[in-house]
């Protein structure tokens, strides 16, 4: 067993090893949007987020670096028409992939995995042949808040560790191999039944 674990660690990138070795409270910025927002709330609220439009509107406007921009873009094109819970659920899938050894180890790499190969990408908007133009500024700002909260550590409790999802409008063959963990809005969420969480 130790040999298998050692072999698995040798296969990890230096970025992923650094993330594993860094305590969670040091990974997040002490001045994060989530931290500032939750400090203003009572203690029981510090571990949860009420997935309502009103709760999201109470969050200050968000911003961030490259990983935030990639997550915000993905949420805009993949989930902007979803409920707040649906948007957080799609964000959970992306973050669960970042944490899974079988996927790339940054948000941008996860979102862009397979891009450039028509319909072989992980997120359809990156390879559907359409240009990515942000036309709904309010929706973009809203999903930007979701991205910031998720990157800052809001608990991932909606999808049961899902690393895959699809809309109810399609029935992909790959979905039969996975365990469905949730149905939120117009999306079904799945995880690999053999996947061990690395969170």
Tens digits of per-residue pLDDT, 5-22? 555 556 656 665 555 555
- Quote the domain boundaries for residue 106: 31-191
Tens digits of per-residue pLDDT, 77-124? 999 999 999 999 999 999 999 999 999 999 999 998 877 666 677 777
Q: Is the residue at 4 inside a domain?
A: no
Q: Is the residue at 197 inside a domain?
A: no
pTM reported for the whole predicted model: 0.75
Q: Is the residue at 199 inside a domain?
A: no
Which two three-digit tokens encode residue 6?
């050692």
Report helix angle 66-79 to 84-99, nearest 10: 130
Q: Is the residue at 20 inside a domain?
A: no
The answer to whether 111 touches 121, Cβ cutoff 8 Å, is no
Overall domain count for the chain? 1
């Amino acid at each position: 067993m130790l040999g298998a674990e050692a072999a698995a660690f040798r296969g990890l990138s230096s970025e992923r090893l650094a993330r594993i070795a860094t305590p969670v409270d040091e990974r997040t910025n002490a001045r994060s949007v989530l931290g500032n927002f939750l400090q203003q709330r009572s203690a029981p609220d510090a571990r949860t987020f009420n997935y309502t439009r009103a709760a999201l509107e109470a969050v200050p406007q968000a911003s961030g670096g490259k990983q935030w921009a990639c997550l915000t873009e993905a949420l805009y094109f993949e989930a902007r028409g979803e409920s707040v819970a649906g948007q957080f659920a799609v964000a959970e899938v992306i973050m669960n992939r970042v944490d899974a050894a079988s996927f790339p180890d940054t948000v941008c790499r996860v979102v862009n995995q397979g891009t450039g190969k028509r319909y072989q990408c992980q997120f359809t908007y990156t390879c559907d042949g359409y240009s990515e133009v942000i036309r709904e500024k309010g929706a973009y700002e809203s999903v930007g808040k979701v991205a910031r909260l998720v990157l800052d550590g809001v608990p991932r409790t909606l999808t049961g560790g899902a690393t895959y999802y699809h809309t109810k409008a399609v029935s992909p063959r790959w979905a039969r191999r996975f365990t469905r963990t949730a149905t939120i809005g117009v999306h079904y969420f799945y995880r690999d039944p053999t996947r061990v969480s690395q969170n």
